[in-house]
């Protein structure tokens, strides 16, 4: 039986980028998916664009929420697929065969999750690569050195959410990091790595918009590290410094 994949998109006033996200999903060679869109009651042209690009696999809900993690939790609860992944409204797939490769990786029934590499691209010119996140294979020992799978590339069996929960909304910025540590450390889930870029993300995320938010993110990251028992201050430092080499990886990709 072919696995069904649910793609969850949380969006709010993203008329400038949502079209690229939707079109990259529609181009996928793997067709057995549903698209769960959780809109936060957008007031711009976002809903018009979504409605124009929707098909029978689209499930749209537009209602106020308390933030992106609340929206993602609502979307995940509405999802009915065997596998659940995310497509942020500023992101798009790196190729037309991403979901096909993800589904193939899940043919191993012992695999709980699948992830790949991520590229950060210019918001004004998505062809220009800013950072290249080469994730590498997962081992539990890497967590204390600040390793994590690129969240936008991560696909999980629905049982992971059912058994180990979704996103803790007491975190405003780092609920994704906390959730991934919870799934990996407490849930001891198994991950398969696809060694290629699966998703391209436009730069300018919420966590880096101001010094205050950067400080808050570091505090939340540290809280997640401590509460999940993977390390301490050293883990936080390594989590941040390991990003530096991603800018040099970018250069290799563009040669």
- The per-residue pLDDT for 152 is 97
Summary count for the chain: helices (H), strands (E): 9, 9
- The per-residue pLDDT for 206 is 54
Q: Give residues with Cβ within 8 angstroms of 200, minimum separation 6.
A: 91, 92, 93, 94, 118, 119, 120, 121, 126
Domain residues for 167?
A: 5-254
- pLDDT tens for the chain, 255 residues: list them: 689 999 999 999 999 999 999 999 999 999 999 999 999 999 999 999 999 999 999 999 999 999 999 999 999 999 999 999 999 999 999 999 999 999 999 999 999 999 999 999 999 999 999 999 999 999 999 999 999 999 999 999 999 999 999 999 999 999 999 999 999 999 999 999 999 999 999 987 555 566 788 899 999 999 999 999 999 999 999 999 988 888 877 545 443
* Contact criterion met (CB below 8 Å) for 9 and 76: no
60-to-23, 57, 79 alpha-carbon distances in Å: 16, 10, 11
- Domains contained in the chain, number: 1
- The per-residue pLDDT for 213 is 85
0.85 cut: is pTM over it? yes
148: domain CATH number is 3.90.550.10
Report the first-to-last Cα separation within the chain, whole angstroms.
42
């Amino acid at each position: 039986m072919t696995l069904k994949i649910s793609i969850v998109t949380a969006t709010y006033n993203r008329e400038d980028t949502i079209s690229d996200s939707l079109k990259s999903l529609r181009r996928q060679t793997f067709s057995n998916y549903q698209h769960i869109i959780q809109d936060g009651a957008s007031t711009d042209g976002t809903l018009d664009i979504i409605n124009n690009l929707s098909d029978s696999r689209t499930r749209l809900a537009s209602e106020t929420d308390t933030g992106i993690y609340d929206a993602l939790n609502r979307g995940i609860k509405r999802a009915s697929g065997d596998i659940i992944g995310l497509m942020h409204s500023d992101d798009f797939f790196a190729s037309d065969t991403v979901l096909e490769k993800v589904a193939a990786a899940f043919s191993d029934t012992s695999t709980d999750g699948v992830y790949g590499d991520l590229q950060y691209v210019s918001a004004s010119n998505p062809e220009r690569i800013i950072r290249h996140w080469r994730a590498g294979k997962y081992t539990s020992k890497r967590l204390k050195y600040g390793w994590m799978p690129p969240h936008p590339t991560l696909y999980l069996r629905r049982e992971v959410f059912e058994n180990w929960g979704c996103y803790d909304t007491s975190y405003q910025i780092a609920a994704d990091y906390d959730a991934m540590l919870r799934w990996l450390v407490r849930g001891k889930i198994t991950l398969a790595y696809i060694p290629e870029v699966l998703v391209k993300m436009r730069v300018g995320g919420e966590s880096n918009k101001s010094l205050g938010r950067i400080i808050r993110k570091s505090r939340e990251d540290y809280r997640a590290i401590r509460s999940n028992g993977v390390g301490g201050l050293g883990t936080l430092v390594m989590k941040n410094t390991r990003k530096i080499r991603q800018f040099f990886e970018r250069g290799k990709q563009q040669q």
